[in-house]
A and B are shown apart, each in its own frame.
Chain A
Amino acid sequence: MKMPVPDSGVIARRREIVEALRAIVPGEGVIVDENELRAYECDGLTAYRQLPMVAVLPSTVEQVSQVLKACKAMGVKVVPRGAGTSLSGGALPLADGVLLGMGKFKRILDIDYANRCVTVQPGVTNLGISNAVAHEGFYYAPDPSSQIACTIGGNIAENSGGVHCLKYGLTTNNVLGLEMVLMDGTILRLGGKHLDAGGYDLMGIVTGSEGLLGVVTEVTVRILKKPATARAVLLGFPSSEQGGDCVAAIIAAGIIPGGMEMMDRPAIHAAEAFVHAGYPLDVEALLIVELDGPAAEVDHLIDRVEAIARDKGACYARVSNSEEERLAFWAGRKAAFPAVGRISPDYYCMDGTIPRKALPLVLQRMQEMSDRCGLRVANVFHAGDGNLHPLILYDANKPGELEAAEAFGNDILRLCVEVGGVLTGEHGVGVEKRDLMTDQFDEADLRQQQRLKCAFDPDGLLNPGKVFPTLHRCAELGRLHVHQGELRFPDLPRF
């Protein structure tokens, strides 16, 4: 993975840059000590590490604005960071860049039940929002598995999902308003407590932009009332095809479960050995289907799902009859990553989305790749929306295994695109999948996305080296090539 070549001229000006930042953020808010900078050298994609030139931790939007403005004036790159839980290297620092940590923005600003929304600073954790409104029976729906640690600012950057997003949507479907700062220091407000944008839906483009368009300094999200009931069914199948068929049949019956997760045999065994959730060990695919809502609805649908599963060849079915039992069903799935961590020194988590019907083919091809490269793979799958998380098992201490795991992972993602899917369902492109973007997008697609970046950050100073495999200057991207001439299609009807 190549990052942009560090600008030695900028690094040589480090002292001057630090002075400029200290004039904006006093005291301990500017970090230059190498030991302290270590805390920022990587995010959740720990295979890649880089010390930033300097880290700055502003505590007001004015400081963020001045930091960005100063960096732009000095021609210095900026990498924004929330809690650093990105699995795609979205917050990987640059040797010649300022690391802009948003950790001090931790306040909940406004809880407004009458408008069913909460306004927070970006450093508030995802779970922190739900906790703040739990006593009134509300919650914030998107629930990435890192929700204890990940911040809402990072969720905006990555458009985070979670196990409930088939029914309740991703971050982008749950955000009402943003305050953000552009690279030139401009402070903008998008949306608010009302619905829809007055002009272009810029909030839609900023959400999921991986910190390349602006730095979010305030977020308003909608909150929902907690469903009255939730029950889960555990279903085992003799093959992944039958599991996949069951998922399709549930959706075809008009049922959108609150959660619908699938695990393959290696993942089932790892999870069961770790948390003893009571999973059947003699099945090829295990499905957890959770129905939530009013009790009458949940009871009605549980019966229907069970009937569908039987019809599709389930060889195991168990319905949760208590909250403890429901949580036990989930315990194995939620612990799947650490469980796989127990059976392998290292694992690499992938994140592609496929049309669900391609699941048997993808699993089969993945097994062939696994056999070829000699690395095992376990699969957990957000079955409802086709978001696949293959976990590749490897040992970083064995020479060449990390590279082999990465190559295997890239092949899996290319396969996802080949069958009509996409490179990433919820983890983001970051540095991890950057060089695969050309497998999903043509040159023209990527050029247009980069032009959009130019509209927000014409100097390309905000989080460069992420998302786009090739960096172009905005002047070059903006150039218009007009081909002179006639309408080249004489048969085009004109009236």
Chain B
Amino acid sequence: MTVTILKPENAAQAADAVRWALSAGEPLEILGSGSRRGLGRPVQAGHALDLSGLSGVVAYEPEELVLTALAGTPMDVIRALLAERGQHLAFEPPEGGTLGGLVASGLAGPRRISAGSARDHTLGIAGVSGRAEAYKGGGKVVKNVTGYDVPKLMAGSFGTLTALTEITVKVLPAPEDSATLLLFGLDDAAAVAMLDRALRSPYEVSGAAHLPAGIAVRSGLSAVSGAGGAVTLVRLEGFGPSVAARVTMLREELRADAVLGRDESLAVWREVRDGEWLGAGTESHLWKLSVPPSAGPSTVEAIRRTLDVEVFYDWGGGLAWLAAPPDSGAAIRAALSAGGHATLVRAPEPVRAATDVFQPLPGPLMALSRRVKESFDPQGILNPGRMYAGL
């Protein structure tokens, strides 16, 4: 399909573009830098609304813990700006892309278990609905319950409700120090039990992952890849003296085999965050399963009865990254008996067009989701089909 790109330079032009699309009955694919196009279902649209022209930090007030930026602002710019003041986005999102793309994709990294996700840090939004109306929601302060929490709904809505033009996020001090305890040779169930012990401790664990033997060897860190088997990771972050004290206590309590200092700790959690260990150079598809943490290993075991998969765990067992053969969706989802959901996060475009990339919803929930979509975008102009066919 030939795609015409509309590239507004400001929010008013973005509204004009949506107004035109609405009157012409032309759906729009909403783009920032395009770096997250592989997430979700491909959008069938003759026009793209490229918001990368809406770029720039509008306000950054470190002492107020807020940053407001135009939605197309590159995340690299925001990261660098925050780093200058020792701050960061605490939910540890993957690198690259734009702020709008990040919020729309609702992404978060290993610190999800302690710091929350993109939704928890999105304080305010402005954007253009599928009715071509410019509106705003939320606020620009860290504590606000005025009206519905529209910014939360935007997080993870993949541009199907609103073309975001401006976003206010909560920013927090980045930890001064980081260390990671390593435990060697545990099977999945024993590892998740140990992660549970760590997470039940008062030591404020901010990362809890398990790499089975076949995955651990792929780490770029020799302390992990050379362990000769499975490696379980427990991260402690914060002020130097605090990290040192907690490392000593938790190492004793978990009988950890080794400790990674700051640089190695930062490096290994980047690997955990990005999950690139899995399925590279193969035909397999990559899935992320969010399940009750204690059910992680049993869910994977159930999947293994019918499928040949590679897996590693984050979020204390609550997130399973899974590389599976094509056409595994039904079998994977059938294994979610303890609750949770499975999302296909890497697969060729034709596959994503033909599969349920996101967890299919029960009838009443799907009906409500449809009504929510219609309340913002009755004609299906914005990213139609990106999350669910016909929505």
Contact = CB atoms under 8 A, between A and B. Distances in A.
24 contacts: A189-B362, A193-B293, A194-B291, A195-B113, A195-B117, A196-B106, A196-B117, A199-B366, A202-B368, A249-B63, A251-B62, A252-B62, A297-B245, A357-B63, A382-B143, A420-B140, A427-B145, A441-B147, A444-B134, A448-B129, A448-B137, A456-B368, A478-B374, A493-B9
Contact of A204 (B5, B153, B374): B153
The 7 closest A-B pairs by CB, nearest first: A204-B152, A297-B242, A198-B359, A296-B245, A254-B173, A198-B341, A193-B292
B292 A448 contact: no
Contacts of B293: 114-116, 193
A116 B200 contact: yes
Contacts of A495: 4-5, 7
A195 B173 contact: no
Interface stretch (B15-23, B254-262, B304-312, B324-332): B15-23
A205 B149 contact: yes
Contact of A425 (B135, B143, B239): B143
A396 B142 CA distance: 34
Interface in B1-41: 4-9, 13, 16-17, 19-20, 22-23
Contacts of B7: 492-495
Nearest to A254: B173
Contact of B135 (A161, A194, A444, A454): A444
A391 interface: no
Nearest to A114: B294
B150 A194 contact: no
Contact of A159 (B5, B149, B246, B362): B149
Interface string B358-370: 1101101110110
Given A194-B291, A225-B202, A495-B4, A420 B141 contact: yes
A43 B131 CA distance: 38
Contacts of B61: 355, 357
A171 B22 CA distance: 38
Given A251-B63, A300-B242, A483-B19, A385 B143 contact: yes
A416 to B, nearest CB: 9
Interface stretch (B93-101, B215-223, B274-282, B375-383): B375-383
Interface of A: 112-116, 137, 158-159, 161, 165-166, 169-170, 172-173, 182, 186-190, 192-202, 204-205, 207-209, 225-228, 248-249, 251-252, 254-256, 293-297, 300-301, 353-357, 382, 385-387, 420-429, 433, 437, 440-442, 444-449, 451-456, 467, 478, 480-489, 492-495
A251 B61 CA distance: 11
Find the residue from A158, A195, A353, A492 having the highest chain B CB count within 10 A. Answer: A195
A495 B53 CA distance: 14
Given A193-B292, A354-B141, A201 B156 contact: yes
A112 B293 CA distance: 11
Nearest to A192: B339
Contacts of A115: 292-294, 318
B349 interface: no
A424 B148 CA distance: 12
B339 to A, nearest CB: 4
B341 A194 contact: yes
B76 interface: no
B86 interface: yes
A476 to B, nearest CB: 13
A386 B62 CA distance: 14
B119 interface: yes
A114 B119 contact: no
A48 B364 CA distance: 37
B112 interface: yes
Interface of B: 4-9, 13, 16-17, 19-20, 22-23, 53, 61-66, 85-86, 106, 108, 112-113, 116-117, 119-120, 129, 131-137, 139-150, 152-153, 155-157, 161, 172-174, 176, 196, 199-204, 238-239, 241-242, 244-246, 249, 290-294, 315, 318-319, 338-341, 343, 358-359, 361-362, 364-366, 368-369, 371-372, 374-376, 378-379, 387-388
B141 A196 contact: no
Contacts of B136: 441-442, 445
Nearest to B161: A200
A228 B242 CA distance: 12
A195 B146 contact: no
Contact of B369 (A192, A199, A251): A199
A114 to B, nearest CB: 4
B150 A188 contact: no
B13 A201 contact: no
B202 A195 contact: no
B372 A200 contact: yes
A294 B341 contact: no
A424 B146 contact: yes
B13 A208 contact: no
Contact of A201 (B9, B141, B155): B155
Contact of B142 (A385, A440, A442): A385
Contacts of B204: 293-294
A489 B21 CA distance: 13
B129 to A, nearest CB: 6
Contacts of B133: 444, 447-448
A428 B4 CA distance: 45
Given A201-B119, A300-B241, A195 B6 contact: no
Contact of B239 (A300, A424, A440): A300
A161 B141 CA distance: 14
A82 B120 CA distance: 25
A484 B24 CA distance: 8
B189 to A, nearest CB: 12
Given A202-B369, A455-B375, A194 B340 contact: yes
A487 to B, nearest CB: 4
Contacts of B145: 158-159, 161, 170, 208, 424-429
B141 A386 contact: yes
Contact of A492 (B16, B66, B292): B16
Given A137-B202, A448-B150, 11 more contacts: A113-B200, A196-B108, A200-B372, A205-B150, A251-B63, A420-B141, A421-B139, A424-B144, A429-B145, A440-B146, A448-B375
B64 A449 contact: no
B34 to A, nearest CB: 14
A195 B17 CA distance: 36
A428 B339 CA distance: 32
Contacts of A172: 120, 149, 152
Given A200-B156, A354-B141, A186 B364 contact: yes
Contact of A454 (B174, B375, B387): B375
A293 B237 CA distance: 12
B153 A205 contact: yes
Nearest to A453: B148
Contact of A297 (B120, B241, B374, B388): B241
A198 B156 CA distance: 9
A421 B66 CA distance: 12
Nearest to A484: B23
Contacts of A192: 292, 339-340
A440 B140 CA distance: 11
Nearest to B361: A199
A301 B139 contact: no
Contacts of A454: 371, 375
Find the residue from B117, B174, B200, B387 having the highest chain A CB count within 10 A. Answer: B200
A492 B172 contact: no
A386 B142 contact: yes
B64 A356 contact: yes
A422 B150 contact: no
Contacts of A355: 61, 64, 66, 140-141
Find the residue from B112, B117, B375 having the highest chain A CB count within 10 A. Answer: B375
